Copies of this chain bind each other. A is one copy, B any other.
Amino acid sequence: MSPFTPPGETREKVYRFVRRRIIEDLPPTVREVQEAFRFKAVQTARQHLERLVAEGRLAKARGQARGYRLPREPGTLFVPLLGRVQAGGLREAIEACEGYIPVQSRGSAEMFGLRVQGESMTGAGILPGDVVIVRQQARAASGDIVVARVGDEATVKTLRLGRNRIELHPANPAFAPIVPRADECAILGKVVEVRRYLA
Contacts and interface: CB of A to CB of B under 8 A. Distances in A.
Contacts of A26: 26-27, 66
Nearest to A61: B26
Contacts of A117: none
Contact of A190 (B76, B126, B195, B199): B199
Oligomeric state, in copies: 2
A193 B130 CA distance: 10
A24 to B, nearest CB: 6
27 contacts: A23-B78, A24-B76, A24-B77, A24-B78, A26-B66, A29-B65, A65-B66, A66-B66, A74-B78, A74-B100, A76-B102, A102-B103, A102-B104, A122-B125, A125-B126, A125-B130, A145-B198, A190-B199, A192-B197, A192-B198, A192-B199, A193-B197, A193-B198, A194-B195, A194-B196, A194-B198, A195-B196
Given A125-B196, A194-B194, 17 more contacts: A23-B78, A24-B76, A66-B66, A74-B100, A74-B102, A102-B102, A122-B125, A135-B199, A191-B198, A192-B198, A193-B195, A193-B196, A193-B197, A193-B198, A193-B199, A194-B196, A195-B196
Contacts of A122: 125
A90 interface: no
Dominant secondary structure at the A interface: strand
A187 interface: no
Q: What is the interface residue range for chain A against chain B?
A: 20 to 34
A186 interface: no
Interface in A101-123: 101-104, 122
A185 interface: no
Given A24-B78, A66-B26, A102-B104, A195 B195 contact: yes
A95 to B, nearest CB: 10
A93 interface: no
